[in-house]
Structure 1
Amino acid sequence: MRGSLLRRVFPHAVLLIYIGVILFPLVWTLNSSFKTNKEIITSPWSFPTELSLSNYWNAWTGAHVGHYFMNSVINSTVSAIVSLALGTATAYALTRMSFPKLSLVLKRILILALLVPAASLLVPLYMLLRNMHLYNTPLALILPYVTVGLPWTVFMVSSFLTSIPNELEEAGIMDGLSIYGLLCRIIVPISLPSLFTVFMLNFLTSWNEFIMANLFLTKEKLRTLPVSMVAFYDQLNMNYGSLCAAIMISMIPVVVMYLLLQRGIMENIKA
């Protein structure tokens, strides 16, 4: 009896401990974002004496987090949309059109692209952006993000498109749809759960990226939110409360996007 009870309780206990370890930094950061700098230093584990949004206001205006936030939103959204559009079109061509030799060559190129670490591309990308006069422009981040995200986007979408029966497209052809009509009116609506997942992963990858954003954008007005965190201490004189508030602000798009797309993500995982 005890052994049976232990087998039932132990996995749940381990899971609860794991959840606690994962959530602890988030809860501590959220709690500290409402405390003063003195409270964080003297009593880091206590609750704030009063709930104040001053740290959020200081971070949003004093440290220009609002401006950096919008830069990250624009860069991440545009790069995710472009990667998804190009990747979906490429995946459709590879899975539905008959180009035996060309398809094989493209697949091998995409596989090789997946094997190349992004860090090894920093120097050639830097030189290329310099020569194309794109350095310190929004395209200096958007184009590399699209390039890095395109290969695995193609493979993820392709794996879902192969499960769609050809009879649906044959019916569309009978109704007079062109290739673009088949893609936009049949394939894309059916593939929305998969596309939601791919879009979110592309967005999060671009949102959290630091090295390229720090190297390719040196102008302060173009700086993204992850890069701005590095200079946060100097701007706010080690104001830990405002720093924690800025961290919580940076999590807003991630949480909102997951809440909006969670049904599509779960359906894609089950599939």
Structure 2
Amino acid sequence: MKRFPLRRVLPHTVIVIYIGLSLFPLIWVLNSSFKTNKEIIASPWSFPEQLLLSNYWNAWTGAHVSQYFMNSLLISLVSAFATLCLGTATSYALTRMKFFRSSQRIKQLLMLALLVPVGSLLVPMYLLLRDLHLYNTPLALIMPYITMGLPLTVFMVNAFLKLIPNELEEAGIMDGLSIYGLLVRVIVPITLPPLVPVFMLDFLSNWNEFMMANLFLTKEKFRTLPVSMVAFYDQLNMNYGSLCAAIMFSLIPVVLLYAILHKRIIASVKA
């Protein structure tokens, strides 16, 4: 019988335990989304006697999850895409163009922006959005999300751009490409695999954000999905099954993004 040393078994055991602890809440919520209130309260750890699909319908229609879902999806996608575009262009400018001392100062300002707590900016952003008449509009979240996500995006993309040899851009210049042509036709296709996880990170950060969404969007028609979870107490009258179904709806974009882009994510990690 072959013996496995402890130093090989222990890491795998830790990983299995970590995966189990991470997946357990998700499995419990999925299981509870098919149960009645009585089943969840009486036997929270058991399987449902029958699959109660009405919980999903009640959450999607009765609690207006469909509206909140589309609001979150629109705001998160637009913000993440705009952040990625601006961050890539800024990183390219800081990496390839010579601004003398200005380039270094811009990087220092971006680094300083990473150290500023979001909570300390809520009141100034609220006053600014109110004066610009953007309060209670989708732009009240899109613009802050872009602003807050831009510094980290710049530094992440900047790390990949430094690995691209200058000879590729010199060849593009010989072919008559402008600075914008170099960025769109040379740099972006090469850095596309690394840009995918950056986009996903921005999207997930926007999708799960609660504090600014709760403060800057008070109208129900613009409410995002994380904020709406708090209001489910009144809308669902503590229907735990429908609440779990609503939570499962919030996981759909995350799962779909990973299912579609997982190959590019793995490629970027290997690179």
5 Å-filtered alignment, 1:231-242, equals 231-242=231-242
2:165 alignment counterpart? 165
CA distance in 2, matches of 1:132, 1:231: 28
* 2:111 is the alignment partner of 1:111: yes
Question: How far 1:29 sits from its partner (Å)?
Answer: 0.3
Question: How far 1:15 sits from its partner (Å)?
Answer: 1.9
CA distance in 1, matches of 2:85, 2:174: 26
The 3-state SS of whatever aligns with 1:50 is: coil
5 Å-filtered alignment, 1:211-250, equals 211-250=211-250
Deviations 1:42-92 (A, max 9, x none): 111111111131100000000000000000000000000110111100000
1:198 alignment counterpart? 198
Question: How far 1:8 sits from its partner (Å)?
Answer: 3.2
Q: Is the 8 A contact 2:36 2:52 kept in 1?
A: no
Moved over 6 A (4+): none
5 Å-filtered alignment, 1:57-206, equals 57-206=57-206
| TM-score, scaled relative to structure 1 | 0.97
CA distance in 2, matches of 1:119, 1:7: 44
Question: How far 1:7 sits from its partner (Å)?
Answer: 3.5
Deviations 1:99-154 (A, max 9, x none): 12221121111111111111110010001011111100100000000000001111
In structure 1, the gaps of 5 or more residues are: none
1:257 alignment counterpart? 257
Q: CA RMSD in A?
A: 1.3
Amino acid at match of 1:54: S
1:52 alignment counterpart? 52
Matched residue count: 271
The percentage of counterpart residues that share the same residue type is 72
The 3-state SS of whatever aligns with 1:46 is: coil
The 3-state SS of whatever aligns with 2:98 is: coil
CA distance in 2, matches of 1:153, 1:35: 42
Question: How far 1:3 sits from its partner (Å)?
Answer: 7.7
The 3-state SS of whatever aligns with 2:253 is: helix
CA distance in 2, matches of 1:104, 1:11: 42
In structure 2, the gaps of 5 or more residues are: none
